[in-house]
Structure 1
Amino acid sequence: MKILTTIFLFCLIQVAAYAQPVLKGNIVSGGKPVPFASVSIAGKGVVTDSAGKFKTEIVQFGHYGIKVSAAGYVSSIHHVTVVDAVTIITIELQPLQNNLSEIVITGTMKEVSRAESPVPVEVITPKLFQKNPVPNLFEAMSMVNGVKPQLNCNICNTGDIHINGMEGPYTMILIDGMPIVSALSTVYGLSGIPNSIVERIEVVKGPGSSLYGSEAMGGIINVITKNPIKAPLVSADVFTTSWKEYSVDAATKFKIGSATSLFGINYFNYNNPVDNNKDGFTDVTLQNRISVFNKWSIERKENRLASVAARYVYEDRWGGEMRWNKAFRGSDSIYGESIYTKRWELIGMYQLPVREKILAQFSFNRHEQNSWYGTTPYMADQQVLFAQLYWDKQFGEQHNFLLGGSYRYTLYDDNTPGTASADGIKNAPSYTPLPGIFVQDEWKLSNRHKLLMGYRYDYDRHHGNVHSPRIAYKWTPGKSNTIRASFGTGYRVVNLFTEDHAALTGAREVVIAESLNPERSYNGNLNYTLKIPMRDAFIGLDITGFYSYFTNKIVGDFDADPNKIIYDNLKGHAISKGVALNADINFSFPLKILAGVTYMKVYQVESNSGTIEKTTQLHAPEWSGNLTATYSFPLQFILDITGRWDGPMRLPVLPHDYRPEYSPWFCIANVQLTKKFTGGFELYGGVKNIFNFVPHNPIMRPFDPFDKMVNDPVNNPYGYTFDPSYNYAPLQGVRGFIGMRYQLGRKSGQH
């Protein structure tokens, strides 16, 4: 018996001597446990319990790398040395950025966190644009769900930005909250905004006239420029494509006393005529554009705001027959469309040195246009002066109050009937003063309920009193979901020739049936956001239903007469309705996906001789969407796949047109590989439009651009005329690109 006992004790001692060491740990973030986190060590994986704790056995003592990942947190690798039978460690995880803590301004005209805003605001940063580098803001907006940059001419490539299917003039473009880009420059000025000056872009879908006045009918795009104090010391982004496009974006900052200046320059050049579709016309407009930007931010006592910025843009662009040069500008021998643009902008903000928070804002811009569309000249000059003063006041813990007034004065002159006297003999430039006042109360009913009420009054000397109320409600049932509902109105005072490019190009005669009345819109939105933490992913969903009703809508009738465009107020109403879904998915491994899809119905209804007619809006696809997928490889390599797809959209066809009235389904997809180096240096390259999709037959009768052979019953029995407006996608096919970025001294805390 003693022998058996001795043998048993000896075995226990041997087992204890060779027992596997145990590793115990706590996974936390901000001092709080992280449940259901994945922990991988030496090929073995375990999951933390509800208290963020884990336990695992290890084969032997030594040094180990531990990989930890959890939904909603940044994956990380930690190192531990196991020398004891039981080792206990604590690992801290960093939360993923989900953009809900970002500060936004556009929805309420005051800085609030995006999560707290009662108005849904989409925030886009230049980091997204860098996944598919483009030389201007116009092209970059194609990466936003429900926002469509639409080219309106296949020759000069001018365009506008559509939100939820509504044409460009219904989208208000702001720079730092100022109505810098509007009317004439909505069509001709967007391509002059370089990405280098942009800190972020805020998008509000639906009317915003209660705060911003005329033009904010379909939505608002607010370009927030960089704060010089927080900007990098030096930044540069240079790229070229296989089509011989060249883009240079550079900026630097310096300080003089209490003032910090950010100086930037953007240059884009494309001087390589290409005619891949063999219609005798350039596929892409040739451009030579320079933009210079300078912004000053002044440090003041009590952190009061003071800044001033100026920008100058010059652009020379042309498209047309491959044989065209400037000697043929305005002639009827070789067709070309040539546009010279000069633009000056001045923007300022100053917080008054008083106890209350009172801010003064001002802006001035001048846009000069010198254009020839074949033999049709368009010479225009637009000047806009804007000033605004508002009081931002917190009353107790519940009411956040805003009261202000604004004044916008627009001078517009051109060589069209739009600025002619009643007898058509004299020139009569348009002078439009537009004073207004607005009030808004953001009422915090409780920690979960918030109500926003707003009202604006404007006076137009031609159309009288204009009232624009708005109401929005936000309910937060829990930490992971939010419901927002809003209703608002919008209005728009129209200058036809500044907004509809079709009125200036091609051979059609423009007919204005009557005096055009201001348009009105009524809009309702219902938005739901949901955050879903999972074991291996974090999913953010954002779904919005929208409905807009328009009266007095100004429409161009392209169908009644093939030789005319007839403009008139709609004798009925127009509808824009649909639903948009955005998904933001972060996986525990280094993959991130942004995806969106929009379904919408955009149409107009009017009575014609007692018959109700329903017409689908041009360039408004029922289905559209986008995708951005980013995967990070070892050694600082990043792969980006981006794409936008559109379903069939109605196009401006001619009577008996042999071209389809609806476009096909198509996708413009791109791929990019980036290599990051130490010191803020990056190299990138890739392929754009990898499926090489281009539209067919974009120009009607390109061989007769001056309609000299239209009256030929044998060769032209249907009386087709030259028309370059059949457009639904860029004519630029597959192409490669390569570039570099450099950034020095970016202040921490910047997104």
Structure 2
Amino acid sequence: MKSFLPAVILSFLVFNAGAQQDKTSPVRKITADSLLKLQEVVITGQFEPQSLKKSVYNVRVINSQMIKLRAATDLKTILSTELGIRFSNDPATGISDPQLMGMDGAGIKILLDGVPMADRGTAKESLAQIDVNTIERIEIVEGPMSVMYGTDAMAGVINIITKRITGNQLSVNARLQEESAGTEYSAFNKGGTHNGNLGVNWQNNAWRFGLSATRNNFGGWQGDHTGRAKEWLPKDQWLGTALAGYKMNNLDVWYRFNGTDETLHYLGDIITNNGAPIASDKKYLSKRFFHQAQADLTVNDKLSFNAAASYTDYSRRTQSTNLNLNTGSETLSIDPGSQDKDVFSSTFFRGTALYKLSPSVSLQPGIEYNNNSGKGARIQGDPVINDYSFFISSQIQLNPAIQLRPGLRFLNNSVYDAPPVIPSLNAKVRLNEQLDLRFAYARGFRAPILRELYFIFKDSSHDIVGNENLKAEHSNSFNGSLAWALKSTASVRLSTILSGFYNEFKNRIDIGTDAAVSNSSVYINIGKFKTTGAEWNNTLNIKNVQASLGLSYIGRYNQYSEQPELGDSPSFTWSPELNTNIIYSFPKLDANIGFFYKFTGRYQQYTTSLSSGQNTVILGEVASYHLADLTLNKSVNNFITINAGARNLFDVSRLNTTGTNTDPHSPGGSVAMGYGRSFFLGLTLQWSKN
């Protein structure tokens, strides 16, 4: 490991000294201007692609050049320094679950090209099963999007948009990147993170085809553990993508397959059995097969149609074995519950029409169907949930300065008590050429999922059962923003956005106790929950520099804060955040350097603790922390780019906690955050031929 950082620096300096700028290189150059321009058109929640300034929603964009400069091998790395987003991590399951606007992953909709990703539970494990090498950009919309995207979109949506080639060409992309895990590193396997990708795309007139394969190998991280045990479990992951599409005149049709094969390794303690050392190990085997098809048809200037469909087959299997360390032989465990498999399937369809009644009024009706089913030893029966929706939205340009977007969604569900109507109203007011005001009201909802309705989880550390009588969560949400373009010239662009939000939730689903349902912990609808806060985002582009500075202050409230034993304690608990991104481009050297930093303040939450046989309300806290990455990116010649840098510069691994244990798989007193300061070096090849 000691030689890894000097190798990174030396490699960068060698390529820096020897490379010459080549204006004909197919490798895309990263400049401050290109980073800004790529953010001008957005599609999430829009009737049709339009500029960021014209959008009625306040959309945040992470574009392709920014993703390339981050040199990330997963989405968490890209999103973790975004304002308003924080992750909770479970090294034992390999899941990192995001929070947005003070709400956990259950209220965030993850979309892949506008189509929802399916998950086993409320945690968004699908984020870790999307190939970052295929991503063009990421669009984030904060605030309920339930009219357009249905359940789970209470906090907002994260839409991952994949790459598409343009023009008749054959292109080949390859990537190889090595990264340490703290001080642990072994080349290409075991210690550290090892990423390899190969993609081929071909387009000829109307037809396009693509294939991509990625290997992600993580050797785990031992941390404070001893012996064979790992604090972060080793993981082998293979991601595959196949695409076929046809586009001619007014028709665009395409199909894509995404496959995931993932194995998480748990290395158990060694015990002696009949004189032989035996290790009880586990493998958590996940397989995801995701089929996605979309079609766009433009009939004329006034009428167009869009249809999107997907089918997901997702399984997770636990395989428990006993390994004889003397002989190397491995046998399956016969202990109760040691071999387990759950299978989930999801079918989705959305169809919309866009009709322009006049230049100032557009109408978009749509239908949506969701079918979710599951089976396995931990699922009661073979449940199936059908969800039917009709929604309608309109875009009204009252005058050159005022734009309105009202909408309604009507729901019917086969199992749970769904809110029958979900309304929303968004508005954008152009105060002048530099000032834009946006404000909105929306009712959000989240449907109970199969896991919350029918799941049974009983082992040495869990005793949780589902509740078939759950109701859907719903919320009333208000948000607004003021965007000010202080200066916009060819050489200098300076803008600032001040925004705020308030969300009030009812029937929030959580784990609690209800003797009428079960003596175990059970999923129940609890009382009040609220979030509120403000954000201030600033961006500056001047010559070869792009810089941003963001501040946020987010408050959370639950019903426990009103308990008498707390006295005059504040109802809301608050958490500050600060982030900054600074990117400098060296045009003559064809190189860029990026610094990405975020401070996340302490996270507090009122909760209950069992003491002397009684539940007592306490204020739990997770400590604040700093994250920072430093990355270097340089084009070596016509086809090769080198990436190098350091992640987690502040060497964060665990966060101290008081009065809470948010990670049931880790010892009390701290929660997992990362595996310390790490270094990476990577090469990217991009070749194309017309």
TM range (shorter): 0.7 to 0.9
- 1:233 & 1:269 partners in 2: Cα distance? 26
Residue from 672, 681, 688 that aligns with 2:631? 672
8 Å CA contact 1:213, 1:458 repeated in 2: no
Report the equivalent of 2:495.
540
Aligned residue number for residue 101 of structure 2: 164
1:226 aligns with 2:163: yes
When residues 95 and 530 of structure 1 are mapped into structure 2, their CA distance, relative to the original with a 3 A threshold, is: same
Do residues 735 (structure 1) and 678 (structure 2) align? yes
CA 738–255 in structure 1, closer or farther in 2 if over 3 Å, else same: same
Distance 2:139 2:288 in 1: 23
Look up the SS of the partner of 1:143 in the other structure: coil
In structure 2, the partner of 1:245 is 193
1:394 is the counterpart of 2:342: no
Distance 1:507 1:545 in 2: 40
> Of residues 198, 207, 227 in structure 2, which corresponds to 1:259?
207
Q: Match for residue 7 of structure 1?
A: none
* Residue pair 1:173, 1:186 contacting (<8 A) in 2 also: no
| Residue equivalent to 2:651 | 692
Question: After superposition, where does 1:467-616 map in structure 2 within 5 Å?
Answer: 467-495=421-449, 497=451, 507-510=461-464, 515-533=469-487, 537-557=492-512, 565-570=521-526, 572-588=527-543, 590-605=544-559
Counterpart pick for 1:213 among 142, 145, 150: 150
Deviations 1:44-92 (A, max 9, x none): xxxxxxxxxxxxxxxxxxxxxxxxxxxxxx999xxxxxxxxxxxxxxxx
Residue correspondence of structure 1 range 403-442 to structure 2 within 5 A: 403-416=365-378, 419-420=379-380, 428-442=381-395
Corresponding position of 2:288: 343
Match of 1:181, SS state, is: coil
Is 1:640 the counterpart of 2:597? The answer is no
8 Å contact kept, 2:170–2:202: no
The alpha-carbon distance between structure 1 residues 300 and 371, as it changes in their structure 2 partners (threshold 3 A), is same
Identity of aligned residues (%): 18
Change beyond 3 A, Cα 1:742–1:499:
farther
Distance 1:665 1:249, change over 3 A: same
Contact preservation (8 Å) 1:229, 1:260:
no
- Higher RCO by CA contacts (8 Å cutoff, separation 6 or greater): 2
Matches of 1:529 and 1:686 in 2, distance apart? Answer: 34
Question: Which is further off, 488-497 or 277-286?
Answer: 277-286
Q: TM-score, normalised by structure 2?
A: 0.80
Aligned-partner SS, 1:626: strand
Which whole-Å CA distance do the structure 2 matches of 1:166 and 1:637 have between them? 38
The answer for the alignment partner of 1:149 in structure 2 is: 87
Pair 1:466 & 2:420 matched? yes
| Structure-2 residue corresponding to 1:173 | 110
Question: Do the aligned partners of 1:490 and 1:522 also contact (CA within 8 Å) in 2?
Answer: yes
The residue aligned with 2:19 is: none
Q: Is the 8 A contact 2:655 2:672 kept in 1?
A: no
Classify 1:380/1:131 alpha carbon distance in 2 versus 1 (closer, same or farther; 3 Å). Answer: same
- Contact preservation (8 Å) 1:164, 1:576: yes
Residues 607/254 of structure 1: CA separation in 2 closer, same or farther (3 Å cut)? closer
**Structure 1 contact 238–741 (Cα < 8 Å) conserved:** yes
Distance (whole Å) between structure 1 residues aligned to residue 353 and residue 45 of structure 2: 16
Alignment partner for residue 631 of structure 1, among 547, 563, 584? 584
SS at match of 1:411: strand
Q: Which structure's residues are more often strand, by fraction?
A: 2
What is the deviation of 1:508? Answer: 3.3
Residue 281 of structure 1: how far off its partner (Å): 3.6
Q: Distance in 1 between matches of 2:38 and 2:595?
A: 24
User: In 2, Cα distance between the equivalents of 1:504 and 1:182?
Assistant: 21
Q: Is 1:359 the counterpart of 2:306 in the alignment?
A: yes
User: Is the alpha carbon distance of 1:516 and 1:534 closer, same or farther for their aligned partners in structure 2, counting shifts above 3 Å?
Assistant: closer
SS of the equivalent of 2:400 reads: coil
1:203 and 1:222 in contact (8 A); partners too: yes
Is the contact between residue 146 and residue 152 of structure 2 (CA under 8 Å) also seen in structure 1?
A: yes
Instruction: Return the letter of the residue paired with 1:650.
Output: Q
**Cα distance in 2, alignment partners of residues 721 and 182 from structure 1:** 20
Partner of 2:58: 120
Cα deviation for residue 548 of structure 1 reads 0.7
Answer yes or no: is the 8 Å Cα contact 2:38–2:63 preserved in 1. Answer: no
- Residue 681 (str. 1) matches residue 640 (str. 2): yes
**1:551-574 alpha-carbon deviations (Å, 9 max, x no partner):** 00012249x9xx97453211x311
Whether the 8 Å contact between 1:673 and 1:684 is mirrored in structure 2 is: yes
Counterparts in 2 of 1:395 and 1:696: CA distance versus 1, 3 Å: closer
Does the 8 Å CA contact 2:592/2:632 hold for their aligned counterparts?
yes
Aligned residue identity for 2:628: A
How many Å apart are 1:488 and its aligned residue? 0.6
- Structure 1: distance between partners of 2:569 and 2:207: 55
Superposed displacement of residue 159, structure 1? 2.4
Q: Is the 8 A contact 1:653 1:661 kept in 2?
A: no
Structure-2 change in CA distance of 1:616 and 1:506 (3 Å): farther
Q: Which runs of 5+ in 1 are unaligned?
A: 1-73, 77-93, 328-332, 421-427, 703-719
8 Å Cα contact 2:453/2:468 also seen in 1:
no
| CA shift digits 1:321-369 (9 cap, x unpaired) | 4769xx9xxxxx8676632111111111123474531222211111111
1:200-221, CA deviations, whole angstroms, 9 ceiling, x for partnerless residues?
A: 1111111111111112111111
Q: Is the 8 A contact 2:418 2:471 kept in 1?
A: no
TM-score, structure 1 normalization: 0.74
Find the partner of 2:260 among 313, 318, 334.
Answer: 313
Cα separation, partners in 2 of 1:96 and 1:672, compared to 1, 3 Å: closer
Amino acid at match of 2:287: K
Q: 1:256 to 1:368 in 2, by over 3 A?
A: farther
Determine helix, strand or coil for the equivalent of 1:191: helix
Residue 19 of structure 1 corresponds to which residue in structure 2?
A: none
Moved more, 668-677 or 162-171: 668-677
Partner of 1:369: 316
Q: Residue 144 of structure 1: SS of its match in structure 2?
A: coil
Note the C-alpha offset of 1:111.
Answer: 2.0
CA distance in 2, matches of 1:177, 1:321: 41
Counterpart residue number, 2:4: none
CA contact (8 A) 1:155 1:282 kept: no
Cα deviation 1:491-547 (Å, max 9, x = unaligned): 111126379999678613225678321111111110111112289853221221011
Distance 1:271-1:616 versus aligned 2 partners, 3 A rule: farther
Q: Distance in 1 between matches of 2:68 and 2:571?
A: 32
Q: Structure 1 residues 440, 260: CA separation in 2 closer, same or farther (over 3 Å shift)? A: same
**TM-superposed deviation, 1:723:** 4.8
Is this contact kept in 1: 2:599–2:625, CA < 8 A? Answer: yes
